[in-house]
Structures are given as structure tokens and as C-alpha cells.
Structure 1
Amino acid sequence: MSYRTALARVLTGAVALGGEPARMQGKFPRSGVTALGRAGLLGLTVAPELGGGGRGLPEAADVVGRVARVCPAAAAVLRSHYAAVAVLEVHGGTWVRAEIAAGRHLCSLALDEDGPESVARRAGEVVTLRGRKRHVVAAGEADSYLWSSRAPGGGPDRQSLWLVPAHAPDLYVPARAAGPGPSGSATSTVCADPVRVPASALLGAGGEGDRLVRDVVLPWLTELAAVTDRSGPEPVLVAS
């Protein structure tokens, strides 16, 4: 089955059904995201040998643009997820990529500082992350976050990226007003106060975060945001 056929089926079902509660009530479109995962669309850009679709940015943009016509909240979630997966495809471990390919893992970006710069301190094989990130899509709903921090020992101008599991102790979403994302996208602040992760959670080399954000994350976010802006309403919607 092609990804477009799979997408068409969930668009007129779970994604469409979740679009109205997201817009009107601010409810996270969990059923739609789950359906996208089961249809192989969360893993669209993961390598085929891990069970993914093996597709690239053009196909991801096609999916995001079509979803945006039905449920802007789900489209915002996909934008952040696909941009994060682009980094994981280069530097992520096999397990998390296979989970994404199987539709069981949603990733998001935690890059925008809310206050002082996030810091990382390493002691042996454990890294302590402390900071606050704002404008995080799917905050409290994603399974993991790409978290940026000042690189341990790398100077103030060098950043590192870490894959932080959402269930990590002392990682939380404070009770506060939602962020600027579409209604229902769960865009909010995420706090690490602090969070401890293994040193193996580092994505790429230490201090390489700036390059990864510039060369990987931003191009994906820019293209996916552009196609969302160009999306008009879906001409025919029949829920099933």
C-alpha cells in the first residue's frame, strides 16, 4: 500500500474526527496521531530495513500539507516529529528508530529556550540536563524530545543535542497557558529540573548541536511550515 493510500484512509477517519475537538476544545488529537502511526506515517522517513517507509522531505511535506487541511494540530505535531526524526536517522539508535517505524514512538523538538540557556553537566556516563524549553509541540504527549543544551566543557557558543525520554524523572510540563501553536497541538513549556540521561543519549558529537539544527532541523521545519501555510481546506471530508 502506498503512503498516500494509507494517509487517505486515516484522514477521513481518525484524523478528521479529532480535528474538531482539537480546534474547538484544545484537545490533543491522540486518536489521529495513533492512527497515523499505525498507518506507517510516523515512520514514513525511517529506513526500510527498520520497517520504515524510506521516504524523504518531499513525501513528509506532502503528508503534513494534507493533514493540515483536516487537523492543523496533528500537522503541527508531524512537523516537529519529522524534523526530529531527520536527526535521529543520522545519529539515533536502532531501537528508537524501529519504534518510530512501528508507529509506537512520537518525537518532538525542545530547542527554544525559556529563560537562561540550558546546561549539561557530565559525571562519568551520566549527564545532567537543566533548563526550560518553550514552544514545545506535543508537550507532555510526545514519547521523547530532542533537547539542546550548552555542550559540556564546550564553551558558551557550542551546543549539543540529546534524546530525552518523556518519562524521565523531573521532566515536566508546568500548569500554564498553552503556547502559540494551533489549538490542540499541546504547545507549551517543558522543564528539566534537572533530568539525568546516559551519556549515550548524545546525538552526534558533543558541540555539534548548532550544525545539526542549522543543517538538518531548520531546513525540514522551514519546508514543512511552508507547505502547511499553502494548504487550503480539504474539499471532501467523509468520516468513517
Structure 2
Amino acid sequence: TSYTYTMDDSCLFINDGHDIESYLFWLNNTYYNDNLSKEDLKKAVLINLIDPTTYYCIGSFFYYLFSGKEMKMPVISIKELKMLPNLRLGLAPYGIEYFIENFMSYKRAPIYSYFRVGRHNQNTYWGLGIEYPFLFRFKSCQLGFRCDFYKQPRLYFKNGLFEYYNIQVGYYEEELNRMIYGISSSLIFNKRLLKKHDISFFLEGGYKTRGFVPGQALRNSVILRIGFGFNTF
């Protein structure tokens, strides 16, 4: 939120170039019939102030400072299920999106789910997803999944009618309003390697169709992630 408000000139910020200004420039030159202004974005980003973790971080700092104790994060508890909902703004290639997120824990296993929705250039788009990395546990292994489903404007990788400041622009209006459905699905595997130091091997494999999912490729692609984790068991 504060970063978005640094777009304007101020003696408090260095303002030679700005990621958010670049995003608006790119978006408005691509979707030329619907202009998203700085003021529009500044109003929309205020939804981030509803994020409860922001206030928890501030409160826990002063609580520890004056009491020397850690503050327990407040969550919604239903038996063994714990939930921490959140609202925030996201930036997509076709416009801004509002996220309704839920960070959960069931029997000490983390679960993340979200629903996102937005409207720009007369396109209404949405998406939903869930990540449950530790669904099954057996001996030194854990198996889970992630799945995302979405409806959004089609993204083009071809050249536009012309190029403007290194941006391909000039797509026809019917192209910019063409909607697609997409899905991303993968299995997540964790195996403990060293019990004493709690080091584990991580593998995620799956497939994703064309479209925008934060943190993933825009084109049709195979999902393959390999790594090592610490304190995951």
C-alpha cells in the first residue's frame, strides 16, 4: 500500500522510475479503451489495510518490547481447524484483482486457499485455488497437491499492430475481450532425509494451461520444482 503511494513526487521518496507506474503504462496502452489512473489504483489498494497480519506484526513488536514475551497470533478455531482470512489487491496482466485468502491449519498441516475477482475493459475475470502440501503422511514422506482454476482474458504472445516504447500494442478489441478458462494442477512430495536436522527433499510436478497464475509461467507449461526444506516435518 505504502509503495503504491510513492508514485507521486515527494521529498520523502526517491521517485526516478517506479514499478507501479510502469504497470499502469503497460496496462493502459494494451487495454486502450479503459484507463486505470493512479488515483483509481490508490483507492483500490486501500483494501490491503484489512490484512490482519499487518496489525499483528505491529502489535507483537510492542508486546515483546514491553513484556519480553511473544504474542500469539489470533486465529479462528473450529476444533482442529484454524483459519486466518485476509483481503488484498493483486496486479494481473489484464487488470487489478481482489484476493480473498484463507491461511489454514488442520491437525498442524498448513492449507492455503484463495478466490480472486476483478473487472477491467468490460472483462470480468476470476480464479480460485487451494494448496494442501501435507494431505497424506506416511513414515518419512508427505504427499499433497495444489490446484488452480480460472477464467480470464486471453493473453497474446504475438506481435501487435505496432510497437510503442517496447510494448506490443494495437490488438483488436475483440481480441482483448476474448475470455479463456484454464487450470493448473500439481502433486507435492516431501521426504525427510535427515531426522536429526529435519532436512527434507521437495518435489512438485504437474501441468498448467495458458493463463496467469501468480508465480507460474504464462504459457502452457509443465510444472517441475525441486528443492530442499528445513523444519517441514
Task: Tell me which interval the TM-score lies in, with the shorter structure as reference length.
Answer: under 0.3
- The structure where helix makes up a greater share of residues is 1
- The two structures have a TM-score, normalised by structure 2, of 0.23
Higher relative contact order (CA 8 A, sep 6+): 1
- The two structures have a TM-score, normalised by structure 1, of 0.22
- The structure where strand makes up a greater share of residues is 2
